[in-house]
Amino acid sequence: MRWMKEPLLIGSEYLWPGRFHERPHISTRQYARLVREWGKSIGLDPTSYGTHSMRRTKVAYFNRKTGNLRAVQLLLGHTKMDSTVRYLGVELEDALAIFEAIEI
């Protein structure tokens, strides 16, 4: 990853700048490959996780901690709340538990 320290790439607006100057960032495929290799390097089974499952886990955790489905919807960039609910796998029981936990 020596290429990430090159002076032309420092200060890039991208978290993962590309190796080649005509491409300002790495591809999703490259990112997935990096995640898989990092996981393998610490002994994780790469078939048990991926970039998408990490995204889903982060927002599911956020939703459990805050109960704020609207914030999750915004973070995911979903236009419809039902898409967010389906994405998270929120069940009726979960929704009722969140509802009941809020005092007015």
**Based on the structure, what is the number of domains in the chain?**
2
Q: Which residue has the higher pLDDT, 47 or 18?
A: 47
Whether residue 44 is found in the same domain as residue 57 = no
| One-letter amino acid for residue 6 of the chain | E
Are 31 and 55 members of one domain?
no
Looking at the fold, whether 37 and 58 belong to one and the same domain comes out as no
Q: Are residues 41 and 76 in the same domain?
A: no
Q: Would you say residue 11 has pLDDT above 70?
A: no
Collect all residues with Cβ–Cβ distance below 8 Å to 53 and sequence separation of at least 6: none
Nearest to 70 by CA among 92, 88, 53, 91: 88
Based on the domain organization, do 25 and 41 belong to the same domain? yes
Task: For residues 92 and 70, give the distance between their C-alpha atoms in angstroms, rounded to a whole number.
Answer: 16
The answer on 55 and 40 residing in a single domain is no
Range of the domain at 61: 51-101
Looking at the structure, tell me whether residues 63 and 96 fall in a common domain: yes
Instruction: Please tell me the predicted confidence (pLDDT) of residue 10.
Output: 56
pTM: 0.53
29 and 67 belong to one structural domain:
no
